[in-house]
Amino acid sequence: MIEAGSLIRSLSGRHAARNFHTFVINEIGRSIISGSFPVGSVLASDAVMMETYGVSRTVLREALKTLEAKGLVEARPKVGTRVSPKSRWNFFDSQVLAWHYHAPADPTFYNNLFAVRAALERPAAEGAARHRTAEDVRIMKYWLHQAATAGDSVEQFGLACLEVHSQIAESSQNTLLRGVVAVVELLLALALTRHSDTVSEYCEARIGALEQLVRAIEAGHVEGAREHLTASLELDHQRILDGI
């Protein structure tokens, strides 16, 4: 797992300090998700990968175990480490989702992501309208302000929006709905890096949609929260799918 917001932070070129274990995981994971290492292919030998990534056998083995736990690879005696079928991949893993940002655009996958997001975030918004506290609303408004004052910083804007969505899920009092945050982060990252010439217009519309959503939650309007959440979804959906 990775910390929420890591993908959006990387949009500005800012990465966490290099860790050899996570470096190898990211390199191999992105290669699998992007198709550079196709499903069914056998990865190079330990010796070759150790030289390629500049790591020890211990680091490599631990990285492969992590990828196996995510369902991306499987180790077979006398065969080696093979890339698993997509049906075995853990698509709800935050790293697996983040690696899709670097993969070729796939409208079918994006549509599936939006379907999952709607299935989780609509009940989260409804639950937030029922169970929100004054502190929940204060936090949402704080992050809305941060988004509105982000200026040209795509990173600051994206992180602030993500915090609003995270607090909505938290306010629903259904911990299972927090699983939507990783999906929202990937879709936010995609939306913020599509059509760079209109990103400021998108950000303005995004803030407006979130403000209406938070107002409905604060007022306890369940149906209104659902409607404004749907409008926010449609805004992202149109932007990401447009022109693909």
Per-residue pLDDT of the chain (244 residues; tens, 9 = 90+): 567 889 999 887 655 546 889 999 999 999 999 999 999 999 999 999 999 999 999 999 999 999 999 999 999 888 899 999 999 999 999 999 999 999 999 999 999 999 999 999 999 999 999 999 999 999 999 999 999 999 999 999 999 999 999 999 999 999 999 999 999 999 999 999 988 899 999 999 999 999 999 999 999 999 999 999 999 999 999 999 987 8
Q: State pTM to two decimals.
A: 0.92
Short-list 185, 57, 174, 73, CA closest to 126? 174
**Helices 180-192 & 222-241 angle (0-180, nearest 10):** 50
Check if the beta carbon of residue 195 is closer than 8 Å to that of residue 243. yes
Q: What are phi and psi of 80, to 5 degrees?
A: 115, -160
Q: Which pLDDT does position 4 carry in this prediction? A: 81
Which residues, in sequence order, are bridge partners of residue 76? 80
Short-list 135, 119, 154, CA closest to 9? 154
Check if the beta carbon of residue 2 is closer than 8 Å to that of residue 95. yes
Neighbours of 170 (CB within 10 A): 19
Short-list 167, 239, 243, 241, CA closest to 200? 239
Q: What are phi and psi of 209, to 5 degrees?
A: -65, -40
User: What single string gives the DSSP state of each residue in 227-241?
Assistant: HHHHHHHHHHHHHHH
The position carrying tokens 């991306």 is 72
Q: Which domains does the chain carry?
A: 6-88 (1.10.10.10), 105-241 (1.20.120.530)
d(CA 70, CA 169): 24
Check if the beta carbon of residue 83 is closer than 8 Å to that of residue 41. yes
Neighbours of 136 (CB within 10 A): 20
Check if the beta carbon of residue 69 is closer than 8 Å to that of residue 55. no
d(CA 142, CA 145): 5
Q: How far is CA 229 from the centre of its chain?
A: 18
28 in helix, strand or coil?
helix
Check if the beta carbon of residue 4 is closer than 8 Å to that of residue 162. yes
